Amino acid sequence: MKSSTAIAFSIMVVLTFLGFSEGRSVRSLGVEPHCRCIETESRRIGPRIAKFELISANSHCERLEIIATLKQSGKEVCLNPEAPWVRKLIENMIPNRRHIGR
């Protein structure tokens, strides 16, 4: 009876370890289990943007996130998707989408 308990315990330990290592592998793929933007910028910074990334709402973050990379510094800035200039920027970049995040 002791050996079957030891085997069951060993299996539980191995399964637990596999579960933890799988969680770590998701992070190694660059997937973060939370929103990337804590604060957003509403002021116009348009000409200084080198590129921007749209991240749709998903299981890790329930809101649309817009992350702009600045030309000179390479710094990433989270933009407020409700700011009128940001909406216009997105609509110009994606002409087939009229109402973003509404």
Tens digits of residue pLDDT in 63-82: 999 999 999 999 999 999 99
Q: Tell me how far apart the alpha carbons of residues 57 and 65 are, in angstroms, rounded to a whole number.
A: 8
What is the tens place of the pLDDT at every residue in 43-63?
998 788 899 899 999 888 899
Query: Which residue from 51, 59, 60, 52 is spatially nearest to 81, judged by alpha carbons?
Result: 52
pTM: 0.59
Domain extents in the chain? 1-31, 35-102
Q: Tell me how far apart the alpha carbons of residues 37 and 33 are, in angstroms, rounded to a whole number.
A: 12
CATH fold for domain 35-102 = OB fold (Dihydrolipoamide Acetyltransferase, E2P) (2.40.50)
What is the tens place of the pLDDT at every residue in 11-26?
655 545 544 433 333 4
Torsion 57-62-63-65 (CA) sign: negative
How, if at all, do strands 65-70 and 76-79 pair?
antiparallel
